[in-house]
Amino acid sequence: MAAGGTVGLGMSVNIAVKNLSKEFAAHGTGAAWKALDGVNLEVASGEFVTILGPSGCGKSTLLNILSGLDTHFTGSISFTQGDSGGTARGKPRIAYLFQEPRLLPWRTVRGNVEFALDAAGFSRSEWKGRCNKWLELVGLGGFAEFYPLQLSGGMQQRAAIARAFSIEPDILLMDEPFSALDELTARRMRQELLDLWEANRHSVVFVTHNSLEAVFLSDRILIMNRGPSSRVRDEISLNHLPRPRSYEDPAQFETQKDVLARLMRHVD
Amino acid sequence: MKEVARGDRWVKLISLSLLVGLWYAVALLPAKSVFPPPHVVLLYLIEDVQSWAIWSHLLATLSRIFFGFSLAMAVAVPAGILLGFSGLAQRLFGTWVLIGLMTPSLVFIILVYTSMGLNDIAAVVAAAMTVIPVLVVNIWENAKAVDSKLVQMARVFNLSTLKIVRQIVLPQLAPPLLASARFGLGLVWKMVLFVELLGRSNGIGYQIEYYYQLFNMGRVLEYTVFFVGIMLIIEVVILGGIEHRLFRWRPAARLG
């Protein structure tokens, strides 16, 4: 599955992005939009990094490049396996949690998880066990045989989370996965996501425009400016905030105010 | 979908009675010997279904429809999908389809009969040819609407291209393809009757033409009612059944 075969299953990997730039050409006119201009960032193995920025800052573009969906860019991206210190440059196993669940509506919840397991190359004999385990962990144990359109938006996103974790990814990319949910549901699901991640430390790149969410979830926040020519403008470590975190913690609240102030500087 | 609401049933009954009433109204107008009322046609029908002749004509027509429809779909589905996904195919063959659409069905039928002879194979080919352009356009439009977000998702999860076609593209195309199939069936059976009228000596189309020559409108209507009834049953039972099986995943209600 992973090209080169040197990236282990379910191991976290380091991500290093150097001088990454990306231009979109307007159709016909020859005009260009420089979406990303010299992005540098590193994600340590097992680290939870959030990229925070206003809409139009190229966050999703960056994720599309990291995921391999978009291959037209300049600069370099390298993945190295965390634990052994090797320098494998093969393709790591990536899971992507989109803003919408992107489940296949014609397959049951179980079928959707199996779809990812199949794509990731897990043998058929493992499917049932993994499926049950992850659906149980996201609280959908009783809904395996339901079709996505029979479930609420929150449950659908849970199914997508189960699908993402079930393949034991090396890297988990998330593009505002909770932004379509109401705040109460989103809060619960952030906590559930953290619980899953604490138990399975994949490297995470999480994209959002919500500073509250960024502070609650991350080890480190990278702030990007509004385009054109977006790059990482600021970096905030959150190691001083112990986990598990709580929205009511004054220190966390102070940090969030600081993050928001620094974000505002790069919006205009 | 399984249970038809009671009110809905009443509406359907009223609608059907209105149609029969309209028929009576027309039949009772001056030229009543030409246009017989429904019960006369019904009596003809009851008399005829007891003999083999009407069934053998039906069988001839149905088999032409079956082969014509299969041939049309076999050409139109790949052609439509190709046109939907490939810009090159679109530029190369888009005009062919347009010309096909503009060519009168009569021309296709005459061309095929004169080049292949007056036989059953020619009849099937002619019927298929007249509907292929319409079906291709129909499928072509639908192929454009495949959700690229799901294809993207599948690519991130590293699904192979072959599996993307099988697991992501085809399931999305199934509903419009089924709609196209229904549409195509409706077109083919009308064309088969036309083709029979022009160059065969059996089948429902030939019978209708025969009684028309005799100016026997009762028999014309009898064959029409008989055939429309059979086609309705095929539509509802066979294609409706497939639809129900294919679209189980569509929600009846949300859980909450």
pLDDT at B25: 87
Both tokens of A130, joined, read 């993994």
Task: Tell me which H or E stretch contains A121.
Answer: none
Query: Span B181-190, mean pLDDT?
Result: 87
DSSP label of A79 = E
Q: Which residue of A has its CA nearest to B254?
A: A150
DSSP A196-262: HHHHS--EEEEEES-HHHHHHH-SEEEEEPSSSSB-EEEEEE-TTSPSSP-TT-HHHHHHHHHHHHH
Structure tokens at A170: 């090396």
CA distance B254 to chain A (A): 5
Question: What average pLDDT score do residues A141-157 get?
Answer: 92
- Average pLDDT of chain B is 86
Chain A residues with beta carbon closer than 8 angstroms to that of B167: 104, 115
Q: What's the pTM value of the predicted model, to 2 decimals?
A: 0.70
Please tell me the distance from the alpha carbon of residue B83 to that of residue B86, in angstroms, as a whole number: 6
Residue B148 CB contacts under 8 Å (≥ 6 apart), including other chains:
none
What local confidence, expressed as pLDDT, does residue B5 receive? 58
Tell whether A96 lies on the interface with B, counting CB pairs under 8 A.
yes
- CATH code reported for the domain at B42-246: 1.10.3720.10
Residue B16 binned pLDDT confidence (cut-offs 50, 70, 90): confident
Alpha helix ranges (H) inside A46-152: 59-67, 109-119, 124-137
Q: What tens digit of pLDDT does each residue of B120-134 get?
A: 999 999 999 999 999
Residue, of B5 and B178, whose pLDDT is higher: B178
The reported pLDDT for the residue numbered A144 is 93
Task: Read off the amino acid at residue B252.
Answer: A
How far apart are alpha carbons A9 and A122 in whole angstroms? 11
CB contact under 8 A, B157 and A167: yes
Indicate whether A8 pLDDT > 50: no
Q: Verify whether the Cβ–Cβ distance B171 to A104 is below 8 Å.
A: yes
- The alpha carbon of residue B219 and the mean position of all alpha carbons in its chain are separated, in whole angstroms, by 24
B78's enclosing H/E stretch is helix B52-85
Contact A151 B150 (CB under 8 A): no
Contacts of B42 (CB under 8 A, 6+ apart): B225
Averaged pLDDT, A108-129: 92
pLDDT surpassing 60 at residue B4: no
pLDDT above 80: residue B230: yes
Asked if the model's pLDDT at residue B7 lies above 80, the reply is no
What is the band of A86 on the pLDDT scale with cuts at 50, 70, 90?
A: very low
pLDDT score for B234: 84
Which residue's structure tokens are 């020619």?
B122
pLDDT at A163 over 90: yes
Confidence of residue A2 (pLDDT cuts 50, 70, 90): very low
pLDDT of residue A124: 92
B158–A151: do the CB atoms touch at under 8 Å? Answer: no
Whether the pLDDT of residue A4 is over 70: the answer is no
Query: Which residue is closest to A147 within chain B, CA to CA?
Result: B249
User: What is the pLDDT at residue B1?
Assistant: 43
pLDDT, tens digit, 9 for 90 and up, residues A199-220: 888 899 999 999 999 999 999 9
Question: Where do the structural domains in chain B lie, given as residue ranges?
Answer: 42-246
Report pLDDT for B27: 83
Q: What does B4-49 look like in DSSP terms, one character per residue?
A: PPHHHHHHHHHHHHHHHHHHHHHHHSS-TTTS--HHHHHHHHHHHT
In the sheet with A94-97, reading across from the earlier edge strand, the strands are A94-97, A171-175, A203-208, A48-52, A220-224, A232-237
- pLDDT, position A166: 92
Pairing of strands A203-208, A171-175: parallel
Whether B255 shows a pLDDT value over 70: the answer reads: no
State pLDDT tens for residues B142-174: 887 788 889 889 988 888 888 888 888 888 888
